[in-house]
C-alpha cells in the first residue's frame, strides 16, 4: 500500500512538472531557430563585453522579426562533450524562414554588426527548421 502511494505521488509530481515545462516553452516559436556563437578577440575585456551587450540588447529591442531572444555566456564545462570556448551565444526564433531572411537585412541587425564586428574573431551560426 505504501509503495502504491509513493508511486502515485511521484507520478503526480512528474506530470505537473511536464505541464510546467510545456507552459514555459509556449513562447518559443518552433518554426525556425537561429543560434549564433561569438568568440571575442579579447574575451576577458570588460569594456568590450559592455559594448557588445548594450549594442545587442538595443538591436533585439528593435528587431521586428526575432521572437524568442536569448543571450548567454558559457558555464564552466563539466563534461567533455560541452564546448565552453565561446564568449557569447544568441538564440533567436522566427515564425518562418522568410522572417529570418528579412531579419538579416533589417536596420537594427546591420547597426549591431557594424558596431561590434571589431570585437569578435569568429562567429558560427546554426539555423534549424522545426520538424
Asked if 123 and 39 count as a contact pair (C-beta separation under 8 A), the reply is yes
pLDDT digits (tens, 9 = 90+) for 37-75: 999 999 999 999 999 999 999 999 999 999 889 999 998
Strand ordering across the sheet containing 32-40: 69-72, 88-94, 32-40, 120-129
Q: Note if the pTM is more than 0.85.
A: no
Encode the chain (131 residues) as per-residue pLDDT tens digits: 544 433 333 333 333 333 333 333 456 667 899 999 999 999 999 999 999 999 999 999 999 999 889 999 998 888 989 889 999 999 999 999 999 999 999 999 999 999 999 999 999 999 999 88
Task: Give me the residue spans of the domains in the chain.
Answer: 28-129
CATH 3.30.70.100 corresponds to the domain 28-129: yes
Amino acid at each position: 500500500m505504501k509503495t502504491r502511494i509513493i508511486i502515485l505521488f511521484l507520478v503526480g509530481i512528474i506530470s505537473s512538472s511536464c505541464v510546467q515545462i510545456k507552459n514555459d516553452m509556449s513562447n518559443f516559436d518552433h518554426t525556425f531557430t537561429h543560434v549564433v556563437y561569438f568568440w571575442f578577440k579579447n574575451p576577458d575585456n570588460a569594456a568590450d563585453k559592455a559594448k557588445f551587450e548594450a549594442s545587442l540588447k538595443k538591436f533585439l529591442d528593435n528587431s521586428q522579426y526575432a521572437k524568442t531572444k536569448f543571450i548567454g555566456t558559457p558555464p564552466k564545462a563539466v563534461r567533455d562533450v560541452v564546448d565552453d570556448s565561446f564568449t557569447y551565444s544568441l538564440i533567436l526564433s522566427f515564425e518562418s524562414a522568410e522572417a529570418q531572411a528579412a531579419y538579416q537585412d533589417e536596420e537594427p541587425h546591420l547597426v549591431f554588426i557594424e558596431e561590434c564586428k571589431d570585437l569578435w574573431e569568429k562567429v558560427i551560426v546554426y539555423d534549424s527548421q522545426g520538424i
